[in-house]
Amino acid sequence: MNDNEHALGNVPAFLFADVIMLPEFLDIGKVRWQGARAAKVRHFPGIKEGMYLWYFADQFMSRRTDRTTQDQRRAVYVRPEPWTAQYYKSEVNFLDSLLLGLRDHVALTVLPRGRAQGAHYRAEKFKGIRVIDTALDLADIAPDCDLFIGAGGTMTREMAVLGIPTVSIYRSELLDVDRYLLRTGCMQHRPDLDAETALKILDNAAERGPNLELLHKGKVAYSQLYSLIVELGSRH
């Protein structure tokens, strides 16, 4: 199962797979050269994150009502660009000015991808910004987050599906899954986002709740995956 048509790891994975599961909106022409033969491909509805979010969404979002607004600064979480990913072909550290511009206005948390990136954001000039480069559960982020800014990836899509105001600042070629979320209005794409614009988005953000259509599709996709595992298991 894969939703990243740019990942070269698809080549060996597709070669040895009995079945290749792709999201309904992914253009098979983009992965055919990687070995995704039509006879192997099965499409699932929605996005892969929906396969588990349908089960947890209510638990995550019910905790938002427990937040106290008195003297509480708005919480912004930022997931930087994937420095070391094979498929990422753009700049690094381009978020520095955005973070420094937001620091004095919101409760700002950076979620680095790895220790090296974490060390960068622990430099003295970023003092006052919370940096968490160990695992942080989605159940801790979703109830607390007023705006999520992410350079692509699973976490950005999770927040978008849950209805958290989400901005993608991904600067490499967008995946079909991200284009799909943009079309459905789940998130915005602003690769040149600055602090002033981010604060305006935050000011105008409204609670809209999880995307029920994507959660329903996720539940259907989960059942499809479960049935496929049983089917494949019976062959061996």
Query: pTM for this structure?
Result: 0.90
Say what the pLDDT of residue 94 is: 77
Residue 116 confidence (pLDDT): 82
The per-residue pLDDT for 63 is 77
pLDDT at 88: 47
Rounded CA separation 156/162 (Å): 10
Q: What integer pLDDT is reported at residue 22 of this predicted model?
A: 96
User: For residue 29, what are the CA distances in angstroms to 22, 42, 88, 180?
Assistant: 12, 14, 21, 17
In degrees rounded to 5, what are phi and psi of residue 200? -65, -40
Give the pairing of strands 130-131 and 107-110. parallel
Could you give the 3-state DSSP secondary structure of residue 181? Answer: helix
Q: How far apart are the C-alpha atoms of 205 and 147, rounded to whole Å?
A: 8
| β partners of residue 42 | 21
* Domains of the chain listed by start with CATH number: 10-49+217-234 (no CATH), 56-212 (3.40.50.2000)
Q: Residue 81 belongs to what H/E stretch?
A: none
- C-alpha distances (whole Å) from 103 to each of 99, 129, 133 are 6, 6, 18
Q: Which residues of the chain have pLDDT under 70?
A: 65-71, 83-92, 236
pLDDT at position 65: 64
* Beta carbons within 10 angstroms of residue 119's beta carbon: 12
Question: Rg of the chain over CA atoms, in angstroms?
Answer: 19
- Note the pLDDT of residue 115: 83
